[in-house]
Amino acid sequence: MSRTNNSLDELIEALRCLPGVGPKSAQRMAYHLLQYDQAGAHRLALALDRALQRIRRCAKCNTFTEEEVCALCTSPKRDPSLLCVVETPADQAVMEQTLAYQGLYFVLMGRLSPLDGIGPKEIGLDALQRRVSDGIVKEVILATNFTNEGEATAHYIHEMLQGRGLKITRIARGVPVGGELEYVDLGTLAQAFYERREA
Amino acid sequence: MEQGSRRRVENERAYVLHTWPYSETSLLVEIFSRGYGRLPLLAKGVRRPRSSLRGLLMAFQPLSLGWSGRGEVRTLNRCEWVGGLPLLKGDALLCGFYCNELLMRLLPREDPHEALFDHYEATLAQLQHAEDLERVLRAFERTLLKELGYGLTLDRDAETGGPIDPEAFYDYEPDRGPVPSRGEGRLRLRGRTLLAIANEDYSDPGTLQQYKQLMRLLINHRLDQQPLHSRNVYRELQQL
Ligand SMILES: [Zn+2]
B8-81: CATH topology: OB fold (Dihydrolipoamide Acetyltransferase, E2P) (2.40.50)
- Give residue A107 CA to ligand 1 midpoint distance, Å: 9
Q: How far is B186 from chain A (nearest CA, A)?
A: 27
Question: For the domain B90-238, what is the CATH code?
Answer: 1.20.1440.120
Residue B5 in this model has a pLDDT that exceeds 80: no
Is the CB of residue A158 less than 8 Å from the CB of residue A168?
yes
A119, A152, A186 ranked by CB distance to B236: nearest: A119
Pick from B86, B94, B232: CB nearest A152: B94
Is A10 or A178 the better-scoring residue by pLDDT?
Answer: A10
Is pLDDT above 70 for A182?
yes
Torsion angle of C-alpha atoms A111, A115, A118, A120, degrees rounded to 10: 80
Instruction: Give pLDDT tens digits for A5-27.
Output: 699 999 999 999 998 788 999 99
Residue A163 sits at the chain B interface (C-beta within 8 Å) = no
Q: What percent of chain A has pLDDT over 90?
A: 80
Per-residue pLDDT, averaged over B149-168, amounts to 94
Q: Give the pLDDT band (50/70/90) at residue B70.
A: confident
The answer to whether B229 contacts chain A (CB < 8 Å) is yes
The DSSP code for A118 is B
Beta-carbon separation of A148 and B98 below 8 A: no
**Interchain pair A118, B233: CB under 8 A:** yes
User: In this structure, which amino acid lies at residue B167?
Assistant: E
pLDDT higher than threshold 80 for residue B168: yes
Q: Where are the domains of chain B?
A: 8-81, 90-238
Q: B63: Cβ–Cβ under 8 A, 6 or more apart, which residues?
A: B13, B14, B15, B16, B56, B57, B79, B80, B81, B82
Ligand 1 centroid vs A64 CA: distance in angstroms? 8
Q: Which of residues 7-46 of A touch B (CB under 8 A)?
A: 19-20, 22
pLDDT of B21 over the 60 cut: yes
CB contact under 8 A, B81 and A185: yes
Are the CB atoms for A61 and A107 separated by under 8 Å?
yes
pLDDT digits (tens, 9 = 90+) for A117-161: 999 999 999 999 999 999 999 999 999 999 999 999 999 999 999
Burial class (CB in 10 A: 0-12, 13-18, 19+), B4: exposed
ipTM for the assembly: 0.91
Which pLDDT score is estimated for B1? 45
Look at residue A5 in the predicted model and tell me its pLDDT: 65
- DSSP-derived letter for residue A3 is P
Q: Do A151 and B93 touch (CB under 8 A)?
A: yes
pLDDT tens-digit series, residues B178-218 = 999 988 777 899 999 999 999 999 999 899 999 999 999 99
What residues of A are in contact with residue B237 (Cβ under 8 Å)?
Answer: 112, 119-120, 156, 159
Q: What is the predicted pLDDT for the residue at A197?
A: 86
pLDDT of res. B6: 57
> How far does residue A127's CA lie from ligand 1's centre (Å)?
13
Tell me whether A162 touches chain B (CB under 8 Å). Answer: no
Q: What's the CA-to-centroid distance between A174 and ligand 1, angstroms? A: 30
Q: Do B240 and A155 touch (CB under 8 A)?
A: no
